[in-house]
A and B are shown apart, each in its own frame.
Chain A
Amino acid sequence: DGGITQSPKYLFRKEGQNVTLSCEQNLNHDAMYWYRQDPGQGLRLIYYSQIVNDFQKGDIAEGYSVSREKKESFPLTVTSAQKNPTAFYLCASSSGTSSYNEQFFGPGTRLTVL
């Protein structure tokens, strides 16, 4: 089965802790993305990567970090510097770096800070 997997589905964190969200794809896609979705808002881009070992900040990168050591994997770390991390996090991938390639989404991780 080809697709994008995210884990865990639900994550609870205490204030001051760093947590890492996993995103894996077996679609052989070059580009991967992390979005954050808050109630009543659309998706906002956190980070994206168009190729292994390279990534760029999106619109709301502060308080987050990523790595892209393998083509299949693009983990997102939510650091204690992120002021309001409770949200739904979506990972996506696309087959190329062109603007004409649609993005495919994983099932998401819901992060709650206690």
Chain B
Amino acid sequence: EDKVVQSPLSLVVHEGDTVTLNCSYEVTNFRSLLWYKQEKKAPTFLFMLTSSGIEKKSGRLSSILDKKELFSILNITATQTGDSAIYLCAVSGTASKLTFGTGTRLQVTL
């Protein structure tokens, strides 16, 4: 059975801090790892990672995958209150379905 574990479960930081969110996984026939941001309702797509060692970057967010150690990290630099959300990690294996972790709840305070 595919499994995704995210840590920490929740995190409170001050605006301007840098945070690192972790995602480890076990999946049969790994295809891709995805990060989503969920603020109030619908998760919104952030990154899809398929290859080890290649950093994906979008503004202050970046992510990298290690397929040997079976984990990914999501970094957010210079955090803002608008970054407050639940960050979800998901992996896909042989089928097109995704297995999600429980998410990391990030709160950025002034």
Contact = CB atoms under 8 A, between A and B. Distances in A.
B94 interface: yes
B43 to A, nearest CB: 5
Contact of B101 (A42, A94, A101, A103): A42
Contacts of A104: 45
B42 A99 contact: no
A94 B45 CA distance: 12
Interface in B70-96: 88, 90, 92-96
A107 B38 CA distance: 10
Contact of A43 (B94, B95, B100): B100
Contacts, number: 65
A33 interface: yes
A63 interface: no
Nearest to B9: A40
Given A33-B97, A97-B96, A42 B41 contact: no
Contact of B41 (A31, A41, A45, A108): A108
Interface of A: 4, 31, 33, 35, 40-45, 48, 50, 56, 58, 90, 94, 96-108
